[in-house]
Structure 1
Amino acid sequence: MLSLIKLPRVFTVNQVPKAFHEDSIISGYRHPRSSATDCVLSLFQLTNETLNVWTHFLPTWYFLWKLLTVVLMKDVWNDAFTWPLLVFLLSCCMYPLASSCAHTFSTMSTTSRHICFFFDYGALSFYSLASAISYSVYVTPDIWVNSTFHQYFIPIAVFNTVVCTALACYSRLGLTFLQYNHNSLKRFPEFHSPRLGKTLRIVAFAYPYLFDNIPLFYRLFLCAGEGCTDNQANTLHFYHTGLAFLTGFLFATHLPERLAPGRFDYIGHSHQLFHVCAIIGTHFQMQAIEQDMGLRRDWLLAHAPPITFANTLGAGLLCITVSLFIILIFSLCLVHGPLLKSKRRTSVGFTTAGVKQQSENH
């Protein structure tokens, strides 16, 4: 039965449009105008995206199981102390699922590629905010509880997630418009390089991460003496922090494939390693948050500000709503941009015809 299913063929970097190129990845590319069926079938053959999908799709179910365990085993409707954990676990389900879907369907067209990753960026922004919410309630060191910084921590984190989503989406859409607008390129020649888009995305996600972790960094590396919350969860926080920096390093450097282009096209390139480190780091982060939640519950309920819908579930819903609105705006600009639209028809039509001709010759 399986022998009757014809899997899509793969292409080299020279056979697909530039928008689909990955740094130092030479082969294993899918057709740039794949159908949805082809995209799904490609998950059962080895391409340069196959492991990118599975390394995030499978962990989604693990985090979903953890979320359902909390919902079913705890009195979440009446116990507000569990709400930050719920928001965090929901984000742990959303960001791997959005990422796996983005990598699965990103080769349906140039437009779909950008829109898929818009949703990926929105999910990552929500994860960032969810981390900040859980850190504000469970992780903030005793000495900072009820401080001015603590009171404004979540509102600033909400603002940061909006900026993160907008800047990450712009890093794709803004560069695309400028690449198709030669007059703009003359005024902004630096935008011709895709590396600037990568730099903008690194900044878009590094800044919220660094801000969200200020309470944790202070607790682990700077605080000394009474009120520093030195408990068993700190070891897990160290594990998560180390993996988070390794994740960022892999994303920024494109190692190891940059050292040997073509050698790691299918297995072992930086994006796969980045996914694995991110998931393991999230697992340790979840365990650390749960430990802090259990160990500090009585003290926090007695001394910390009250947990409300507004600073937990409400902040998460606001982030999701605003991020979806931003994605909608950027998607509409992408679809209806006249300069981009006319150029895309020409370039994609020419490239697709070339790929089709090469397939027939093959």
Structure 2
Amino acid sequence: MSGLVLQRLTTLTLSIKQFGRVPNLLQQLPSSLPFPSPTVSVTQVPSLFREPYIFTGYRPLHQNWYCYLLSLFQKHNECLNVWSHLFAAPVLLHRWWANVGALGYSLDISSLPLCLFLISALICYFCSSAAHLFQSHSKQAHYYVFFMDYVGVAVYQYGCALGHYFYTSAPGWRASVFGQYFLPGTALMGLMSSVGCCVAKAMYSKPYPVQRKICQLIPSSLAYFFGISPVVHRLLTVSWEEEPSLNIHALQILFFLCSTVFFSCPIPECFFPGKFDIFGHGHQIFHILLSLTTICQLEALFQEYARNRDTVVDTFGETQIWWACVSFPALTVSCLLVAFASMKYIDNKLAKN
């Protein structure tokens, strides 16, 4: 099964040769549309937009919004950050419908956590793609879109937690302190993840102090490790041969841990400055690995849903499932309020400068 998953994941890989043909698409667009300006070097953009060891491929500021939309078909240092998630979304949907067809799936209360997991992943992908596509418009836009990106991350974290709790968790784990406070705890940590990332983005300017990384990583890491705890417990206590989904869960954890390395460190560009400006720098690898993580999660959760769907309601009760699902939009609204407050703070900060 894990071999089949890896085969599916290869659809996310795009060759540099294919990207080399992208500028030709721009030439096919109507001449009446605004045309994206050529990319510029790092010295021609403000420090806010500069990335370590990335010297070229920056898009000029203050173009028409359509230019940034059309830069989807332009070679620049953000293009793979956008396309990695744009390609992952249809792969997720394809695997969703393939599993639905195989299971004879029906939309009922037992499948709601699984639906919310998919919705949370798509929200995260959309917010991330939009952030990297439009952030070069202006300083204000840069802050705004990344605040929304953090909302998407927090929503995705809670969507994962719902799937892990209702389909993966073991009775003994649910009886523990972790299990008893898991759902409200993961919701709170998702909110704190959004708060931490927004505060770090809004409060600190380049050169960034170490406090910025602490504000970003600690709440996000706690949210992840708490959310993945039912999976880790099952990996340590159940035979992987008896439950093939655990092999896929192990793969998703491996992909995620690898992605954190590339998120935290500018690898490989720090070793070869200027060589990975357009393709292959660390944040792009982080995006690809995160996409692989999500696809593995979906495959594993579908297997567990197929095994447990007849007992989910009896095990947890309709009331708990409904409250857990209602908390999903409540968390989304709370994170949006955090983002809007951060936007207001940035408006005041930029007005003073």
TM-score with structure 2 length normalisation?
0.84
Residue aligning to 1:158: 187
CA contact (8 A) 2:111 2:309 kept: no
8 Å Cα contact 1:146/1:304 also seen in 2:
no
C-alpha displacement of 1:28: 0.5
Match of 2:351 among 341, 346, 349: 341
The amino acid of 1:211's aligned partner reads F
Partners of 2:238 and 2:134 in 1: CA distance: 49
- Separation in 1, partners of 2:209, 2:91: 35
Q: CA RMSD for the aligned pairs?
A: 2.5
Shift of the 328–66 alpha-carbon distance from structure 1 to 2, 3 Å rule, reads farther
Q: What is the match of residue 332 of structure 1?
A: 344
Structural mapping, 1:1-362, within 5 Å: 2=28, 4=31, 6-64=35-93, 74-76=105-107, 79-176=108-205, 192-193=207-208, 196-221=211-236, 223=237, 230-306=242-318, 308=320, 310-337=322-349, 340-343=350-353
Shift of 1:332: 1.1
Q: CA deviation at 1:15?
A: 1.2
State the distance in 1 between where 2:172 and 2:317 align: 13
CA offset at residue 60 of structure 1?
2.0
Q: Whose radius of gyration is greater, 1 or 2? A: 1
Structure 2 Cα separation of the partners of residues 50 and 68 of structure 1: 28
Partner amino acid, structure 2, of 1:342? K
| Corresponding residue pairs, total | 322
CA shift digits 1:138-174 (9 cap, x unpaired): 1112322344432321011111111110110001101
CA shift digits 1:166-198 (9 cap, x unpaired): 11000110114xx7xxxxxxxxxxxx5255423
TM-aligned CA deviation for residue 35 of structure 1 = 2.2
| Deviation sequence 1:300-325 (CA, Å, 0-9, x none) | 44444546454332111111110111
Q: 1:68 & 1:334 partners in 2: Cα distance? A: 42
Deviation, 1:91, is 0.7
How far apart, in 2, do the equivalents of 1:224 and 1:156 lie? 25
Amino acid at match of 2:233: Y
AA at the equivalent of 1:109: S
Amino acid at match of 1:341: A
d(CA) in 1 for partners of 2:332 and 2:314?
31
Structure 1 portions without partners, runs of 5+: 180-191, 344-362
Identity of aligned residues (%): 25
Describe the superposition over 1:239-282 as per-residue Cα deviations: whole angstroms up to 9, x where unpaired.
10100101111101111111111000001111111111111111
Unaligned stretches of 5+ residues in structure 2: 1-26
